[in-house]
Amino acid sequence: MNECSLCGGVPVFTKGKWDRYDNSRCLVSGPWVSVDVCKDEHNCLAIYGIADETTDFYYPKFCPECGRKLKER
């Protein structure tokens, strides 16, 4: 198992349902914005932004923390 705190985890399902925010972790934040990372319902690492609205997921090809090649979505 990968020990990386970003790509080594697995998605969490609560009562059989996946939720973006239950699976998220803040990477960096500013006064009115943050960049978060999560494991999506398919166990893929996804990065997204939060401000007045939430952006679509960006799926990196490599983990931004450890550099491991990630599976394709």
pLDDT higher than threshold 60 for residue 41: yes
pLDDT score, position 72: 77
Residue 28 per-residue DSSP state:
E
C-alpha span between 20 and 30 (Å, rounded): 20
Chain segment 5-18, per-residue pLDDT in tens: 899 888 999 999 99
Residue closest to 12 by CA, chosen among 3, 69, 4, 21: 21
Q: Considering the domain boundaries, does residue 15 fall inside one?
A: yes
- Name 4's Cβ contacts closer than 8 Å, sequence gap at least 6: 63, 65, 66, 68
pLDDT score, position 2: 61
Verdict on whether the full-model pTM lies above 0.75: yes
Which residue range is the domain that position 49 belongs to? 1-60
- Count of domains in the chain? 1
Q: Considering the domain boundaries, does residue 72 fall inside one?
A: no
- Report which residue type is found at 13: F
